[in-house]
Structure 1
Amino acid sequence: MTSSARARALVAGYCALLTMIIVGPLAGSGYLLLRDAVSTPRSYLTDSALGLGAAAPRAVPQDALLAVLSPVIDGGILVKAILIVALWSAGYGAAVLARRFVSASTGAQLVAATLALWNPYVAERLLQGHWSLLAGYAALPWTGLAAARIRTATGGTEPSGTRRFGFAARRGTLGGWAALTASFAAAGLTPTGSLLAAVIGLALVGRRAFLPAIVVWIATCAPWLTATALGSGAEPSDPAGVSAFAARAEPWLGTLGSLAGLGGIWNGEAVPASRTTPLALVGTLLLLGIVTCGVRAVWALGRDGRALLVIAAVAIVLPALGATSWGLAAGEWLMVHVPGAGLLRDTQKYVALAMPAYALCAAAACRTVATASRRLLTDGQPDSDPDADSADTEPESVAHSATHRRDFGIRATATLFILLITLPLADLAWGVGGAMRPVHYPAGWQQVVDHIDTPGDIAVLPGGMFRRFPYSGTAPVLDPAPRILPNDVLQTGELRVRGYAVTGEGNRARTVEEALLRGAPATELAAMGVGWILVERTTPGPLGTSENTLATAELAYRDADLALYRVPSLTSLDTATPAQRRISTAAHLLWAGLLLAGLIAAALRPYRTPLERRPASRIVT
């Protein structure tokens, strides 16, 4: 194994270790059930999974992917595997980005990987349950690498200033497009992730490839774009969501400082304990100090470095402005007048765009700080051996000694930086302080699934979308019923956030819930297409006078946790037409095909960076 191969293996192993330290508790059996994260043994390809239900298609194509694969691979294992691969990819991608863009040594690559994995953004999104958003986060450095590769191969310049022509250019173009397609598709597991990758990719791909890159990106967005066009996702979102999901100021930092430190999620309960103490200020100052030391070197890279730095600045400043009074007013106007603008209401999500630039700056800072420290210790003198003037000292030994000192300085600086990044956020370890742990569903859920043997949508009691089960811990969790039951489950989409009541899209589920809570006869629900009523008996929530409705329905199953009622005289009511289902299915197949084809083609045409093609003697370590 060559030295460069050993270095890459070391970085990959380090990222795997850091990932397992973060998600270690999930290695046990069970399912991820924490706030927005819901994994179940099996999911079903319902209209909602295709994005054709009453709610906006925010989990497309994520839900369809799980529905297709979970009959073969347990859904809990699938979600854990995607999360683990995403975190590892984020760290390793940041390291490769640093190696490609700033010729980072192994130690500096480890710093870039640490920053990408060990930061408040990752911690807060894990606690909020946004495991699929982290797939989009992980794709960002790979998207930047692929875009830069395409620009270079289509007439741009290498960092050394040389141009690539002929077969090498064509090969680089094909491999670059494959990698960009795979990155866009992987990020497109959720609509937000797709938007994140588009910003990085389109900013770096270059003028000549800009329009084809847009076409590729739109193709990978097919599932949620078609769902938005065909379903209720085209309806305006509740403007109250703008204030509810605005970025939040953390203690001693303010909104801008929180976002600059990669924190500031809207949900104050989905933060590590350390972010509620002065450690939040300490950690942010240390992080920004490390990043600042590398800004000059990254800016000097030219187009790529400057583009990533500008994106990072905008990704921090705009969410901060969005939390001001006029920013909130502008956001509310968008929610009312622009269909699909609900994707933008959680502005702190887009702070993820700062990660590639931060990782590059942290890697570059290793050399900057090591060089400054070495000059300080030698009173500004250049590297030299004290005995260099003696007759018995060979020039090779002098060079070797200087190189050894440089290597040691960079490694020591990298070690220090890793400690400064991780220690203030030590409670990210082991499932963010143990908050992420697998749960086990009661056996009654499978019994309910087995009893649902006729068509009809499912209404659920108590009202609302969030639950607190005895087996799920103290944090509220999304109702698992829509992902564990074989028929469409009607949910209002209403959220209560920081004192705001944010209504969801579509009125049918809300009408059904209101009928249940006022005790309407089961025949009224049957006329609205409801074939079943599920009562989740161990979670608090509004029940109203629903016992009157249940008295007119037929009990199909009951245990200590769940009760299932059949609604007689069902009136068939399809929310989606066969044509809509075919179109949506085709869009999902296109996305899946692009993902697989891109991954395979990129693997067959690996990219050797200019650094890796140089003679070993010229590699800076």
Structure 2
Amino acid sequence: MTATAVALVVLSPALWRPGFLLHYDMVFVPDLPLSAGTLGMDGGVPRAVPNDTVVALLDLVLPGWITQRLVLVGAFFAIGAGLDRWRRGVVTTVVATVAATWSPWMAERLAIGHWGYLWGYAALVWAVVGALELRAARSDGDDTRHHRAVTSTAVGLGMSALSGSTGAVLVAIALVVILLAPGAGRPRAGSIAVGAAAWLLLNAAWWFPFLTSSSSSAADATGVRAFAAGADTPLGVLGSLLGGGGIWHEPSWFPERHAVVFAFLAAALVVVGFVTLLRHLPALRWGIGALGILALVLSSLGSFAVTAPLLVWFVETVPGGGLLRDGQKFVALLVVPAALGWGVLAARVVSRARGTALAPVALVTAAVLPVVLLPGLAFARGGQWVSSSYPNEYGAVAQRLSASSDAAAVLPWRLYRQYGWNGDITVLDAWQRLSSSPVLVNDDLPLRDSTVRGESAAADRVSRALASGDAAQVKAALSRAGVRYVVVEKSQPGADDDIRTLNPIGSVVHSGRDLTLYDIGRPSGHDGPQSLGNAPWWGATGLALAGVTLAAGTAWLVRRRQFERGAERHASGTSQ
């Protein structure tokens, strides 16, 4: 209930208006198709798998705007439900929920549009609570508590797999550190092995196609500097991370965090909450302490001259090393335990002050402080997040592209757009989600002082051809990439130059207010994005492994939940 209330305050009024919240990487469409891209079978790096797969499945039965609201509000609800599994009383749960959901980490990920990270964060809450309870239950010999803890941990694993690679990595780190730390209640080696196997199978939807991806297996090291944690407060990088923020993306920073008092209190809240949890669970202090230290180390690796070269080497050398680039995300490993501890502290103060006027004051102060320190998050970031509807023209062109097995490309050749119908807010190009056929886009990421190179060789060839200004070279590069249709976003800067380039080599098949669609003829090659029909069999293998494991795990969880309820009723009857 508390988490849902927070979601309503954070996302209103945009939540109630028709249309989609579109900003930065927050891209939803009216009907996301099940395509090679959403299923991780197009040969590219499967960054949006399986979260786009989940959205596409929901869109089969729901309008896209409802899916987006369900996904966003559902992430908050899942966080609150995970914290409720800790069962430390109403005060602890309510205060911890506010601290976890109204946090700089959540705020900045919402601001940049990383909705999949929110579900990874929710999965982390379930996993941390489950692991802490599992250690305590094994130490106390409490079977009922043990059953509940296993269920929480399993839900965290499954939820993290559905959220994508970031959530899966966060959950894996938390479980390994907490469950294997010295002290009483460590699980058996067999249980750890089963959990590790489950993690691998559940996440096969993204790591399996990555291993066979036709794109570069090593990430661009430029991203190490570009995605290093930043100082969004006057306290520097470490102080900002301690306060739960520090994302690299400056437009996602909140102005109030620039005030020294606010920054200091935010960091103090996290530190005090974390220390409180250490003192509350002394038997698990090694695991909790290691988790906090690891969170700060991983999140700050790319931010300092001493450690950045090590991270560059790792990213350039190790396949999948790019998972460590956006270091600030690992601060979630600190924020979640700190929220639990903040709730414990509030409950202690309220308990000691019970019967006096101080009790309600302490409760309100503890619950409201995270909100007071970050007021800019309220009401869709003060109205900056708006709901917009795609012009009808987009649906018509998308339908035409989807009817073809050939790929399309989108010009002007840039990854992010600013649309007048969306309030000129910067947003990721949506055409890869609007069409079920493959769509080639420029996957280079331009930043303020650098560009992070993309993985697509076909897109790189098109970039060079467009830079030459030679229409014949442009057509050859597009044709080699399997592209037949070219969508020109007429409202974007540079569109007139692109139209002049395309006029000699293509025929106009649609011309409207916002879009012009060109047909440049049958492609000569197919080394670009693949369609579902000719996707390699191994792409389906990873998805199948994850799907079967998820289905089996869900059935197991249902049966275990029934057993858990029976054990709780038995324990309740025995105590009476």
Task: Confirm or deny that 1:573 pairs with 2:530.
Answer: no
Kindly provide the amino acid, as one letter, of the partner of residue 346 in structure 2. C
Contact 2:43 2:209 in 1 (8 A): no
Which structure 2 residues correspond to residues 190-589 of structure 1 after superposition, within 5 A? 190-205=164-179, 206-208=187-189, 209-232=191-214, 235-278=217-260, 280-288=262-270, 290-291=272-273, 294-300=276-282, 302-303=283-284, 306-370=286-350, 404-405=354-355, 411-452=360-401, 453-517=403-467, 518-521=469-472, 523-524=475-476, 525-541=478-494, 547-571=500-524, 573=526, 575-576=529-530, 581-589=536-544
Identify the range of structure 1 (67-76 vs 547-556) with the bigger mean alpha-carbon deviation. Answer: 67-76
Query: What secondary structure sits across from 1:92 in the alignment?
Result: helix
TM-score computed with the length of structure 2 as normaliser: 0.88
The structure-2 alpha-carbon separation of the partners of 1:292 and 1:71, relative to structure 1 and needing over 3 Å to count, comes to closer
Of 26, 30, 33, which residue of structure 1 is paired with 2:22? 33
State the distance in 2 between where 1:601 and 1:263 align.
37
Contact 1:55 1:504 in 2 (8 A): no
State the distance in 1 between where 2:214 and 2:269 align.
42
Query: What secondary structure sits across from 1:568 in the alignment?
Result: coil
Kindly provide the amino acid, as one letter, of the partner of residue 106 in structure 1. V
Q: Deviations over 1:25-49 (max 9, x none)?
A: 2232211211011000112233322
Kindly provide the amino acid, as one letter, of the partner of residue 17 in structure 1. A
State the distance in 1 between where 2:495 and 2:539 align.
35
How many residue pairs align between the two structures?
Answer: 556
State the distance in 2 between where 1:122 and 1:139 align.
13
State the distance in 2 between where 1:284 and 1:436 align.
24
Q: 4+ residue runs of structure 1 moved beyond 6 angstroms?
A: 608-616
Contact 1:237 1:340 in 2 (8 A): yes
Kindly provide the amino acid, as one letter, of the partner of residue 115 in structure 1. A
State the distance in 2 between where 1:318 and 1:587 align.
28
Kindly provide the amino acid, as one letter, of the partner of residue 583 in structure 1. W
TM-superposed CA distance for 1:564, in Å, is 0.7
Query: What residue number does 1:591 align with?
Result: 546
The structure-2 alpha-carbon separation of the partners of 1:286 and 1:527, relative to structure 1 and needing over 3 Å to count, comes to closer
Query: What residue number does 2:155 align with?
Result: 182
Query: What residue number does 2:9 align with?
Result: 21
State the distance in 2 between where 1:334 and 1:187 align.
24
Contact 1:321 1:327 in 2 (8 A): yes
State the distance in 1 between where 2:151 and 2:312 align.
39
The structure-2 alpha-carbon separation of the partners of 1:47 and 1:615, relative to structure 1 and needing over 3 Å to count, comes to closer
TM-superposed CA distance for 1:109, in Å, is 1.6
The structure-2 alpha-carbon separation of the partners of 1:454 and 1:15, relative to structure 1 and needing over 3 Å to count, comes to closer
State the distance in 2 between where 1:527 and 1:361 align.
57
Query: What secondary structure sits across from 1:192 in the alignment?
Result: helix
State the distance in 2 between where 1:52 and 1:540 align.
32
5+ residue gaps, structure 2, are: 180-186
Of 49, 52, 66, which residue of structure 1 is paired with 2:55? 66
TM-score computed with the length of structure 1 as normaliser: 0.82
Of 112, 115, 136, which residue of structure 2 is paired with 1:131? 115
Identity of aligned residues (%): 27
5+ residue gaps, structure 1, are: 1-12, 375-403
Of 125, 137, 141, which residue of structure 2 is paired with 1:162? 141
TM-superposed CA distance for 1:511, in Å, is 0.9
Q: Deviations over 1:47-79 (max 9, x none)?
A: 322334464221111222223332322223212
